[in-house]
Amino acid sequence: MIRKTEEFRRMRYANSVMTTYYDGLAGFEKEPCVVIIRDKEIVVEYLRKGRPSTYRGELEGEQYHLHYFPQIEGFVGEAYLSRSEGNLLDGTWNEFENGSRGGGTWDIELNE
């Protein structure tokens, strides 16, 4: 019984798909990502400009509050995700990079 509970708390969705929408721009980007959810924590890993990128966060009420990790000088990223239905997370994101601010919405289809 304990093993099943631990497995439920530590879900790895290695074949997930992240769709990113940018404020003020038409269209979107779809890319693969890995999502790890354990207890009240979430990790989202993907490639950003060809380099591994990670957002980490914790559950606050009904949504996850995430920050870009590790913190890098000149770049700040913050995001929110909520579980909207079954295997779908959605939310907002904001990034500040070398004087430029960007933001939008995103959703992640969770696939094991």
| Cis bond before residue 70 (omega within 30° of 0) | yes
Which of the 8 DSSP states describes residue 72? B
pLDDT digits (tens, 9 = 90+) for 41-96: 999 999 988 889 999 999 999 999 999 998 888 899 999 999 988 899 999 999 99
- pTM for the complete prediction? 0.87
Q: Kindly report the average pLDDT of the chain as a whole number.
A: 90
H or E element at residue 99: none
Q: Residue 10: what pLDDT?
A: 75
